[in-house]
Amino acid sequence: MKRVELYGRVRHAVLNGGMSRGEAARLFGVNRRTVDKLLKFSIPPGYRRDHPVKRPKLDPYVGIIDAILEADKTVPKKQKHTSKRIFERLRDEYGFEGGITIVSDYIYAAKQRQREMFIPLFHPPGHAQADFGEALAVISGIERKIHFLVMEMPHSDACFLKAYPAETTEAFCDAHVAAFDFFGGVPVSILYDSETDKQSIQ
C-alpha cells in the first residue's frame, strides 16, 4: 500500500470513522506507534527546508508567471500558454536572462500545487454519514422548497432520505429515528457532512 494512501485511510478510519488506534493498527497491519505518528500531522511529514529556495534569476519574474497562469484559467485549452511561450514572453517582453529549464520547472510545480488531490477513503462497516439538504419539489401541483436528511452507510451503499417542510430540531431527530428503523439499528458512528459543523457522534 502506498504511503500516502495508507496515511489517508488510517486517519479517516480513526478520526472520522470512530475506529480505535489499536483496531486501525490491526486492520492496516502497522504498529500502534505508527498509527500515533500518522494521526499527529494533518499532512504526511517529510523533508522540510529551513529557508525558502532562492532563485535569483527567476524570483523577480515569479509574479508575472503566476499572473499568466491565472489568466490562462479563463481561456480555452488551446489558447493557454505553454512553458516555452511563457519563457519567450519573459525573455522578449521583460528582459529575463535565465534559461527555459528553471521557468519550466517553476510552472510544473505551480500547476501541481493547483491540482486537487484525492486520497482514497476507507469505510468500515457500521459507520454512517448524514447531511441536511434542500431542494425544490412539486407537491399537489405546487412547487415548494423542501428540506431533507440523507443518511448513508458508505460500506454497503445503503441510503435513506426523508423530507420535511423545514430544517428543525424535530425534523432532525425524527429523521434519525426513521433512518435507524430503516437500517435496522444504530450506526457505530455518524459523520455529519456540513461545511460549518463537521462533527462525529460516537
CB 19 within 8 A of CB 13: yes
Q: What pLDDT is recorded for position 134?
A: 85
The total of other beta-carbon atoms located within 10 Å of residue 138's CB is: 8
CA distance 72 to 66: 10
Residue 24 has φ and ψ, to the nearest 5°, of: -65, -40
The total of other beta-carbon atoms located within 10 Å of residue 118's CB is: 7
Q: What pLDDT is recorded for position 192?
A: 83
Q: List, in sequence order, every residue forming a beta bridge with 147; answer none if it has no partner.
A: 134, 164
Q: One digit per residue, pLDDT tens: the chain, 202 residues?
A: 445 667 777 887 888 778 888 888 888 788 888 888 878 766 666 545 556 667 888 999 999 999 999 999 888 888 899 999 999 999 999 999 999 999 998 898 888 777 655 555 667 888 898 888 888 888 888 888 999 999 999 888 889 999 999 888 899 999 999 999 999 999 998 888 654 343 333 3
CB 17 within 8 A of CB 189: yes
- Coil, strand or helix at 45: coil
